[in-house]
């Protein structure tokens, strides 16, 4: 036998020593500790790679990332390109190894290095963006840093033409996923050996700063020698800051093998090396039991991973040892701190088990340690066992002989001694029984403690699960609120498609006042109608829309037709005699139509009703060059031909003005001011001239910003001129100031037509980009965009009331658009005077409104019908309230100390009192119906009066100033008062102050409301609202959004919604639980010039919101739930 030589494993992570015969030099061996394959040489062991065919042994130096490869000795760098569908650069595709949602993996041959490789090629759509391509190549960069016998190496990566690729070592074998048959677990020792090698590989990757984050059976290859190789670093994260591409909060990985900190979006910052250890534990679990620890839909698995413990492996496979179960479950601990310190420690513990040594994951008894020692040292153990057995046999023989010799002596033992022994034995058994009883009690207590601990853990897991569910619910609720805000904006911008989509896609369980309110608005305000009667007509020539939007003039095949826009019927048709119609226009009164005939160069005046030609006007200056434009105004016709403008008197049929504002320049467009003072002509070459109708002279020469202004238009008052054309911009010019006011950007095609709204506040523009844009000249915000035409839009015209817009397109359709101002409210009625206070009757059928005429007006809530008018005061009725039965109304006036109680049916006065030092700020009925309360400004005291005669029965001295709101609780036992920056809670029976809230000094509290669910809302003159707890007056939230004073607020039916009206002319709707503004409702101007008082607001129990305004209008916002 040849002598042995000592070698050391070349793997830097192992370096274990072993012995081999000298005749083994030149041969290969595998390390029994880490599985590293090595070649034995006289200088020691050298690591070798055996991942593919022998042809791979040619050495080469590879450079990743730039599609180049250099080999030692040749001194050149060769470029490889994709030559065919079976070739990617230097790689020849041989067979498909697998295809998935991300891409395809091929077995390919590297012709440069003469070896087989695995070539991963992603689907084109997966790497369309630079971020996706960077994420794909990150796998190559991560794996290229790793050199380990159990990690598949990456040789090359890059992009060949439009194809990205990663070339890695090819492993002859199959994935661990296919290696393990379903429900057929591996033998425990085989499973442990595989996980030891994988844990060593993962520990090595962690030492290089790389976290895999997607360890699973599919990403482990098993070669023909049953050696595992870790691959696919597609989700790996480099621990330096240069390539940390993962977004915060993103859940990445495979759910069944994902660590809890990976599965929980709120814990992704905790993902680290121990997350990979958890995945190894889950993989080990499947190898031992034949099934993954968790199964089910993705969302269910994620929830299980976060909050549930896996079934212990021994309950699935009884043959699994307790030690392996302990190691597996420790690696899968929910808390990363309870797992092994690193994957190297995990591998060490598995090796201890493989070598029958005690593991560190749990304590081992002395006896068990001895048994394992014998297993590890069978020769020595056998000798020791034999010696012990011989000794025991000898001792037994000796004892037998001795017992015979002492038999006679034993018989001489007295009965007394036997009795004594029996007594002692009985005492011993009694003590043993007591000890067993104590032990049983101790075990019972331990079991109870374990049960309580398990129950606490279960409750904790259930709480964590509930927290996740609640977080998702909060996210969905926030999304709903955003949808409602966007739906309201879309309604104001007249985008019915967006309104429908946002309302219909919202969560039904969250739908509240705002949803029902918006649902009613869309059903009554939004409309869009498209008709296709005009297909086949030429929309470029002879197209004119009547001012009433009733008819359109079009030419087709030499025939001029007037078509009704209501039903598509032809009003009249006349042949143009083959002369062709270049342009057409209606007169403002729609009595005449003027057309320009191309071939005869004449202007023809026709009847708009019948189409009959009335007379012709010559176009004497036409030279056949340029285009012709004209406009009709009253009994005058403006025509433009080449460079000359003519003004014709249609009664005398003579030209009364001839002018050439810009001689020898071709006129492209002409417009006449509605006031008749000016006309404007646009020329090729970015020039536009504004001229006086009286003299024909140019008063303002405009140099537009590039391009020919093909379309120009005056505002209704004649002060503004817009120019537009090929430059895709609309330029707004001030005629008097002779200045450019604004440039409107947005269209992506040339602008073909523009139209002012009758009020001059909006401009509608039509474009070749198939859209219509409506620009608001007063509000600087993005334009309203109308889409629906399938081709360029050729003509536009507003209706006379400005609430409709009609457009004609080259797609052959006419579309009618509802562009009216989106009013959020309904006018119940106009009042005689300014509305200062509002109260709703208990049965919610009537509204009492106090006006600045000193009257109380009674209005039916359902119909807005005026029922009665009661003159009660000489000044503004500042506050009023209905009695519980609705038969009486208590009221007081601004700057008046008098309180009056009247009959709500007849208006007759029941009593009047005047005992406050200053004017009365508020009056209200007590819930018991027997009392009326009043509170004055500055004196602060709250007077509780008898309904019978107004006499004071109780008095509370609260803090007050010029504002003094108050509200009773629903049970009538307490009252909340406010004054300046102080809110106080009082016991009504004892008059004792229970709680006090003090806000930071500044503005004054203006109104106070109590919700049905125990909240207090207090509005302030600084534009904020405080939400307080009714019992403690502790602040819960602050609502901000109003720009000016808030003088009136009201809770919705369930206290989840709060409505506020302020001097900034808005009514706002708030979500109280999240302190979020949902809607900003616009009404007529609320602000009063002298600032005497503010609008009041009230809400019904079914969701109708009522307020008065300074414009003598009673308004209704209807959020009542539909019962369709």
Q: Is residue 67 very low, low, confident or very high in pLDDT (cuts 50, 70, 90)?
A: very low
Please compute the mean of the pLDDT values over residues 548-564 and round it to a whole number.
Answer: 84
Please compute the mean of the pLDDT values over residues 1001-1005 and round it to a whole number.
Answer: 80
Q: Is residue 16 very low, low, confident or very high in pLDDT (cuts 50, 70, 90)?
A: confident
Please compute the mean of the pLDDT values over residues 780-788 and round it to a whole number.
Answer: 76
Domain 533-754, CATH homologous superfamily name and number? YVTN repeat-like/Quinoprotein amine dehydrogenase (2.130.10.10)
Q: Is residue 378 very low, low, confident or very high in pLDDT (cuts 50, 70, 90)?
A: low
Helix axes 513-525, 496-504, angle to 10 degrees: 150
What pLDDT, in 10s, does the model give residues 960-978?
A: 677 789 999 999 999 999 9
Q: Is residue 928 very low, low, confident or very high in pLDDT (cuts 50, 70, 90)?
A: very high
Helix axes 343-354, 188-207, angle to 10 degrees: 150
Binding site listing for ATP? 120
Distance CA 844, CA 392 (A): 104
pLDDT above 70: percentage of residues in the chain: 81
Please compute the mean of the pLDDT values over residues 401-421 and round it to a whole number.
Answer: 63
Given a cut of 60, whether residue 623 has pLDDT beyond it is no
Distance CA 691, CA 714 (A): 12
Q: Is residue 801 very low, low, confident or very high in pLDDT (cuts 50, 70, 90)?
A: confident
Please compute the mean of the pLDDT values over residues 888-901 and round it to a whole number.
Answer: 91
Distance CA 15, CA 507 (A): 62
What pLDDT, in 10s, does the model give residues 940-949?
A: 789 999 999 9
Which residue is listed with tokens 């104001």? 492
Please compute the mean of the pLDDT values over residues 83-106 and round it to a whole number.
Answer: 81
Sign, Cα dihedral of 903, 907, 908, 909? positive
Give the closest residue to 67 by CA, choosing from 156, 134, 128, 163: 156
Distance CA 1059, CA 1097 (A): 8
Q: Which of 178-182, 452-456, 805-809 reaches the highest mean pLDDT?
A: 452-456
Three-class SS state of 300: helix
What pLDDT, in 10s, does the model give residues 853-866?
A: 889 999 998 888 88
* pLDDT score, position 1085: 41
CATH architecture for the domain at 171-379: Orthogonal Bundle (1.10)
Average pLDDT of the chain is 81
Please compute the mean of the pLDDT values over residues 589-613 and round it to a whole number.
Answer: 83
Write the CATH number of the domain with boundaries 826-1118.
2.130.10.10
Q: What are the residues whose beta carbons fall under 8 Å from the beta carbon of 1070, sequence distance 6 or more?
A: 1025, 1039, 1057, 1058, 1059, 1060, 1076, 1077, 1078
Distance CA 884, CA 930 (A): 9
Distance CA 675, CA 564 (A): 29
Binding site listing? 120
Three-class SS state of 201: helix
* CA distances for 707 relative to 725, 746, 930, 944, angstroms: 7, 16, 80, 78
Please compute the mean of the pLDDT values over residues 390-394 and round it to a whole number.
Answer: 58
Contact 872, 856 (CB under 8 A): yes
Give the closest residue to 339 by CA, choosing from 323, 326, 351: 326
- For residue 3, what is the DSSP state? P
Q: What are the residues whose beta carbons fall under 8 Å from the beta carbon of 921, sequence distance 6 or more?
A: 878, 879, 935, 936, 937, 962, 963, 964, 965
Q: Is residue 61 very low, low, confident or very high in pLDDT (cuts 50, 70, 90)?
A: very low
* pLDDT score, position 392: 60
* CA distances for 192 relative to 198, 320, 327, 353, angstroms: 10, 11, 10, 9
Give the closest residue to 330 by CA, choosing from 265, 288, 274: 274
Q: What are the residues whose beta carbons fall under 8 Å from the beta carbon of 944, sequence distance 6 or more?
A: 926, 931, 932, 933, 952, 953, 954, 955, 956, 988
Given a cut of 90, whether residue 489 has pLDDT beyond it is no
Given a cut of 60, whether residue 692 has pLDDT beyond it is yes
Q: Is residue 395 very low, low, confident or very high in pLDDT (cuts 50, 70, 90)?
A: low
* pLDDT score, position 1075: 94
- For residue 187, what is the DSSP state? P
* pLDDT score, position 80: 35
Please compute the mean of the pLDDT values over residues 797-810 and round it to a whole number.
Answer: 85
* pLDDT score, position 486: 93
Contact 594, 585 (CB under 8 A): yes
pLDDT above 90: percentage of residues in the chain: 38
Residues belonging to the chain:
1124
Which residue is listed with tokens 């904006």? 489
Given a cut of 80, whether residue 83 has pLDDT beyond it is no
* pLDDT score, position 152: 92
Residue with the larger pLDDT of the pair 282 and 253: 282
DSSP letter string, 490-528: HHHTT-HHHHHHHHHTS-GGG--HHHHHHHHHHHHH--E
Please compute the mean of the pLDDT values over residues 994-1017 and round it to a whole number.
Answer: 90
Please give the distance of CA 594 from its chain centroid, rounded to a whole number: 55
What are the beta bridge partners of residue 144? Answer: none
Give the closest residue to 274 by CA, choosing from 282, 266, 124: 282
- For residue 686, what is the DSSP state? T
What pLDDT, in 10s, does the model give residues 698-750?
A: 999 998 876 777 789 999 999 999 998 777 889 999 999 999 999 998 888 88
* pLDDT score, position 890: 96
Residue with the larger pLDDT of the pair 341 and 6: 341
Q: What are the residues whose beta carbons fall under 8 Å from the beta carbon of 288, sequence distance 6 or more?
A: 185, 186, 188, 191, 313, 317, 320, 324, 328
* pLDDT score, position 1089: 27
φ, ψ (nearest 5 deg) of residue 540: -90, -35
- Count of C-beta atoms within a 10 Å radius of residue 317: 15
* pLDDT score, position 502: 93
> For the chain, how big is the Rg over CA atoms in Å?
46
Give the pair of three-digit tokens for residue 1095: 């609008």
Q: Is residue 1092 very low, low, confident or very high in pLDDT (cuts 50, 70, 90)?
A: very low
Please compute the mean of the pLDDT values over residues 114-140 and round it to a whole number.
Answer: 86
* pLDDT score, position 409: 59
Given a cut of 70, whether residue 472 has pLDDT beyond it is yes
Rounded to whole angstroms, the maximal C-alpha distance in the chain is: 167
Cα 180–Cα 186–Cα 191 angle in degrees, nearest 5: 105
Domain 55-111+118-169, CATH homologous superfamily name and number? Phosphorylase Kinase; domain 1 (3.30.200.20)
* pLDDT score, position 399: 55
Same fold for the pair 55-111+118-169 and 533-754: no
Please compute the mean of the pLDDT values over residues 1060-1083 and round it to a whole number.
Answer: 87
Given a cut of 50, whether residue 780 has pLDDT beyond it is yes
What pLDDT, in 10s, does the model give residues 164-199?
A: 999 999 999 999 988 988 778 999 999 999 999 999
What pLDDT, in 10s, does the model give residues 204-258?
A: 999 999 999 899 999 999 998 999 999 987 555 544 433 333 334 444 568 889 9
* pLDDT score, position 1095: 63
Distance CA 478, CA 484 (A): 10
Domain positions in the chain are: 4-48, 55-111+118-169, 171-379, 459-524, 533-754, 755-821, 826-1118
Residues of 467-497 as b/e, b for ≥16 C-beta within 10 angstroms? ebeeeeeeeebeebbebbbebbbbbbbbbbe
Q: What are the residues whose beta carbons fall under 8 Å from the beta carbon of 1050, sequence distance 6 or more?
A: 1009, 1058, 1059, 1097, 1098, 1099, 1105
* pLDDT score, position 542: 60
Given a cut of 80, whether residue 664 has pLDDT beyond it is no
Distance CA 549, CA 1078 (A): 38
Taking the alpha carbons at both ends of the chain, their separation in whole angstroms is 100
Cα 59–Cα 65–Cα 69 angle in degrees, nearest 5: 35
* pLDDT score, position 948: 95
Please compute the mean of the pLDDT values over residues 462-482 and round it to a whole number.
Answer: 92
In the chain, DSSP finds a helix count (H) and a strand count (E) of 15, 75
Three-class SS state of 124: helix
Q: Which of 55-59, 100-104, 270-274 reaches the highest mean pLDDT?
A: 270-274
């Amino acid at each position: 036998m040849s002598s042995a030589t000592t070698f050391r494993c070349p793997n830097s992570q192992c370096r274990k020593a072993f012995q081999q015969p000298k005749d083994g030099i030149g041969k290969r061996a595998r390390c029994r500790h880490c599985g590293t394959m090595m070649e034995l040489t006289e200088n020691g062991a050298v690591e070798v790679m055996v991942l593919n065919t022998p042809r791979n042994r040619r050495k080469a130096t590879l450079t990743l990332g730039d599609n180049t490869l250099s080999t030692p000795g040749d001194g050149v760098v060769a470029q490889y390109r994709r030559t065919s569908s079976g070739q990617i650069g230097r790689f020849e595709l041989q067979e498909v190894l697998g295809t998935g949602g991300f891409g395809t993996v091929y077995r390919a041959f590297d012709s440069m290095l003469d070896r087989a490789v695995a070539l991963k090629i992603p689907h084109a759509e997966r790497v369309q963006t630079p971020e996706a391509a960077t994420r794909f190549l990150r796998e190559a960069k991560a794996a290229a840093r790793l050199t380990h016998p159990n990690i598949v190496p990456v040789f090359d990566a890059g992009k060949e033409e439009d194809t990205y690729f990663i070339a890695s070592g090819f492993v002859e074998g199959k994935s661990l996923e296919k290696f393990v048959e379903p429900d057929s677990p591996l033998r425990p020792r085989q499973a442990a050996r595989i996980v030891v090698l994988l844990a060593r590989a993962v520990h090595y990757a962690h030492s290089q700063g790389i976290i895999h984050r997607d360890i699973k059976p599919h990403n482990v290859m098993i070669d023909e020698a049953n050696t595992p190789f870790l691959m696919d670093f597609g989700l790996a994260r480099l621990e330096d800051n240069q390539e940390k591409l993962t977004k915060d909060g993103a859940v990445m990985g495979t759910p069944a093998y994902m660590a809890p900190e990976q599965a929980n979006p709120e814990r992704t910052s905790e993902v680290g090396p121990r997350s990979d250890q958890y995945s190894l534990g889950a993989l080990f679990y499947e190898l031992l039991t034949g099934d993954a620890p968790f199964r089910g839909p993705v969302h269910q698995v994620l929830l299980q991973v976060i909050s549930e413990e896996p079934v212990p492996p021994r309950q699935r496979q009884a043959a699994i040892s307790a030690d392996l179960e302990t190691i597996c479950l420790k690696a899968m601990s929910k808390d990363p701190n309870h797992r092994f310190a690193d994957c190297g420690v995990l591998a060490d513990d598995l090796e201890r088990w493989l070598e029958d040594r005690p593991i560190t994951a749990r304590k081992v008894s002395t006896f068990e340690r001895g048994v394992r020692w014998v297993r590890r040292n069978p020769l020595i153990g056998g000798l020791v066992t034999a010696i012990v057995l011989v000794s025991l046999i000898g001792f037994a023989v000796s004892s037998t002989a001795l017992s015979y010799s002492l038999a006679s002596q034993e018989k001489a033992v007295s009965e007394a001694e036997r009795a004594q022994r029996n007594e002692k034995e009985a005492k011993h058994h009694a003590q043993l029984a007591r000890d067993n009883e104590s032990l049983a009690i101790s075990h019972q207590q331990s079991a109870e403690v374990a049960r309580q601990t398990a129950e606490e853990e279960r409750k904790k897991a259930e709480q964590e699960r509930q927290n996740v569910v609640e977080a998702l619910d909060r996210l969905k609720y926030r999304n709903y609120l955003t949808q409602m805000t966007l739906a309201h904006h879309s309604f104001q911008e007249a985008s019915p498609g967006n309104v429908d989509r946002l309302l219909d896609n919202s969560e039904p369980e969250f739908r509240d006042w705002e949803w029902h309110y918006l649902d009613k608005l869309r059903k009554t305000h939004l409309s869009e109608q498209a008709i296709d009667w005009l297909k086949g007509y030429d929309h470029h020539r002879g197209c004119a829309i009547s001012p009433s939007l009733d008819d359109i003039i079009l030419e087709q095949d030499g025939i001029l037709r007037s078509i009704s826009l209501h039903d598509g019927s032809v009003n009249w048709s006349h042949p143009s005699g083959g002369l062709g119609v270049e342009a057409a226009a209606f007169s403002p009164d729609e009595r005449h139509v003027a057309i320009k005939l191309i071939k005869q160069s004449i202007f023809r005046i026709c009847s708009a009703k019948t189409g009959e030609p009335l007379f012709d006007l010559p176009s004497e200056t036409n030279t056949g060059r340029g285009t012709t434009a004209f406009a009709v105004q009253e009994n005058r016709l403006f025509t433009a031909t080449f460079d000359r403008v003519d003004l014709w008197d249609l009664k005398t049929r003579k030209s009364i003005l001839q002018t050439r504002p810009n001689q020898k320049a071709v006129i492209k467009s002409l417009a006449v001011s509605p006031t008749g003072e000016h006309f404007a002509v646009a020329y090729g070459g970015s020039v536009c001239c504004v001229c006086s109708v009286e003299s024909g002279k140019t008063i303002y020469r405009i140099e537009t910003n590039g391009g020919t202004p093909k379309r120009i238009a005056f505002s209704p008052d004649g002060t503004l001129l817009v120019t537009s054309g090929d430059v895709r911009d609309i330029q707004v010019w001030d005629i008097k100031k002779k200045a450019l006011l604004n440039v409107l950007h947005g269209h992506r095609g040339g602008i073909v037509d523009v139209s002012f709204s009758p009020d001059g506040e909006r401009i509608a523009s039509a474009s070749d980009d198939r859209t219509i844009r409506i620009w608001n000249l007063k509000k600087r915000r993005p334009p309203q965009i109308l889409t629906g035409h399938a081709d360029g839009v050729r003509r536009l015209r507003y209706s006379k009331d400005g609430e409709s817009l009609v457009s004609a397109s080259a797609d052959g359709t006419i579309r009618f658009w509802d562009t009216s101002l989106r009013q959020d409210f309904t006018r119940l009625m106009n009042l005689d005077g300014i509305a200062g206070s509002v109260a709703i009757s208990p049965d919610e059928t009537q509204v009492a409104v106090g006006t600045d005429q000193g009257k109380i007006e009674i209005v039916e809530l359902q119909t807005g019908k005026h029922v009665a008018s009661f003159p009660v005061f000489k000044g503004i009725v500042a506050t009023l309230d209905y009695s519980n039965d609705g038969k009486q109304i208590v009221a007081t006036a601004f700057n008046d100390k008098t309180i009056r109680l009247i009959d709500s049916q007849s208006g007759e006065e029941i009593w009047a009192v005047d005992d406050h030092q200053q004017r009365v700020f508020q009056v209200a009925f007590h819930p018991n119906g027997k009392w009326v309360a009043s509170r004055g400004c500055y004196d602060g005291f709250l007077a509780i009066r008898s309904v019978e005669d107004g006499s004071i029965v109780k008095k509370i001295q609260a803090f007050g100033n010029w504002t003094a709101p108050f509200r009773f609780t629903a049970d009538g036992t307490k009252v909340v008062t406010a004054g300046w920056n102080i809110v106080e809670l009082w016991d009504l029976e004892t008059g004792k102050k229970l709680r006090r809230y003090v806000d930071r000094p500044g503005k004054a509290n203006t109104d106070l409301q109590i919700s049905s669910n125990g909240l207090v809302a207090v509005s302030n003159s600084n534009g904020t609202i405080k939400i307080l707890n009714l019992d403690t007056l502790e602040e819960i939230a602050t609502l901000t959004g109003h720009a000016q004073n808030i003088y009136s607020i009201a809770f919705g039916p369930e206290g989840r919604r709060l409505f506020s009206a302020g001097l900034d002319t808005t009514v706002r709707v708030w979500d109280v639980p999240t302190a979020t503004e949902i809607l900003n409702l616009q009404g007529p101007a609320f602000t009063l010039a002298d600032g005497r008082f503010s609008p009041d607001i009230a809400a019904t129990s079914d969701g109708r919101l009522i307020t008065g305004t300074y414009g003598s209008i009673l308004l209704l916002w209807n959020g009542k739930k539909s019962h369709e």
